[in-house]
Amino acid sequence: MAMTFHVKTLSGLFVLLLLGACSFAPLRGTGDLGLVIERASGSVLVVDTTAKRQLARVPGLGDLSHASAVFSRDERYAYVFGRDGGLSKVDMLEFELAGRVMQAGNSIGGAISQDGKLVAVSNYEPGGVRIFDSETLLMVADIPADSKTVGLVDAPGQRFVFGLYDQNEIWVVQMKDPAHPVIHKFHDIGLQPYDGLITPDGRYYIAGLFGEDGMALLDLWNLDKGVTRILGGYGRGEKKLPVYKMPHLEGWAVAGDLAFVPAVGHHEVLVVDMTTWTQVGRIAVYGQPVFVMARPDGRQVWVNFAVPKNDTVQVIDVPTRKLIKTLKPGKGVLHMEFSPRGEHVWLSVRDLDKLAIYDTDSIEPLSEIPAQKPSGIFFTARAHKTGL
């Protein structure tokens, strides 16, 4: 009897010890996580957007001087596209690299497919787009092109869409059968498409043109219609002004039927009616806009600027189309990201090595987080949005 009692006691102690050990690793969801690019050190921060704090730093991601990220459907993994051609898979819960491949010599972003099974990377060198299994990072398709590829986005129907800078084309790649990609090519769409975006509903792909004024519009519901030219005056305009940084078209702010668009080389935000794709207004701002981003409810638009005015952020009230606030977070504001429901906005302030967090109702600062030369900020809510 004594022996039996002793064994049960040891068994109970073992269970208690096991439960105690587990308590040091509490369960965590992924919905309030985010990833911040630290461009100078080749590392990323994993952050908690609810607690507004850093959770971990993950090193070893190579050249992140122009890096972006997308997320798996379950938000567990981030796929980071480095400028050196590296594709890195970051485990957002274990805070570690889950995989990394050097897939090209120079890449410029990527996208994840509608079903979350494929990750596509857009390349400058050797050009073209390469597509990988999101689980294993093994390449499943190589779409070669004699051109830099730009503006790569995912689209409904298991498709990827991108522009060819050197060939003046837009390609749509259908990936329902990864072993047999189907490519639709649209030629002579305008000179030097430099970036692209897809509307939030996934219907329209729009390419900005570096070589001429105007933009190219492709209706993904009606590919047989081909490419339509829109916004003929969009660009540097009649008076060619120096462009310190081309605006990121991903940052188009869509609010209802209106889009708020960064002007190229001018100190303006343009207002576009998306039912007719015509310009219906312009708003004077502090500098050359880079990102023009809408709060999730569409009530506000936040704008940051190219050098030498990249210490400033301005806020536009959408109903009145008026500037309502000018902020000075510090030199080197490179990126902005709203919390999923828009109550906060996070700013990367590169030259001050920090993230600045603002309340979007009061438009007052809330807190700061140290970061090493931060640039892109990406929250896991992007996993459920087309084109992000």
Residue 17 confidence (pLDDT): 46
Average pLDDT over residues 163-184: 97
pLDDT interval class at 242 (50, 70, 90): low
8 band by pLDDT with thresholds 50, 70 and 90: very low
Span 371-387, mean pLDDT? 96
Task: Give the pLDDT mean for 251-274.
Answer: 87
Name the band, by pLDDT with cuts 50, 70 and 90, for residue 25: low
pLDDT band at 358 (very low <50, low <70, confident <90, very high): very high
* Model confidence pLDDT, tens digit, residues 174-202: 999 999 999 999 999 999 998 899 998 99
Task: Please give the pLDDT value at position 263.
Answer: 86
The answer to whether residue 23 scores a pLDDT higher than 80 is no
- Check if the beta carbon of residue 347 is closer than 8 Å to that of residue 333: yes
Is there a contact between 149 and 132 (Cβ–Cβ < 8 Å)?
no
Mean pLDDT of the residues in the chain: 91
pTM for the whole structure: 0.91
Q: Looking at 29-43, 174-188, 192-206, 253-267, which range is the least confident one?
A: 253-267
Which pLDDT score is estimated for 7? 42
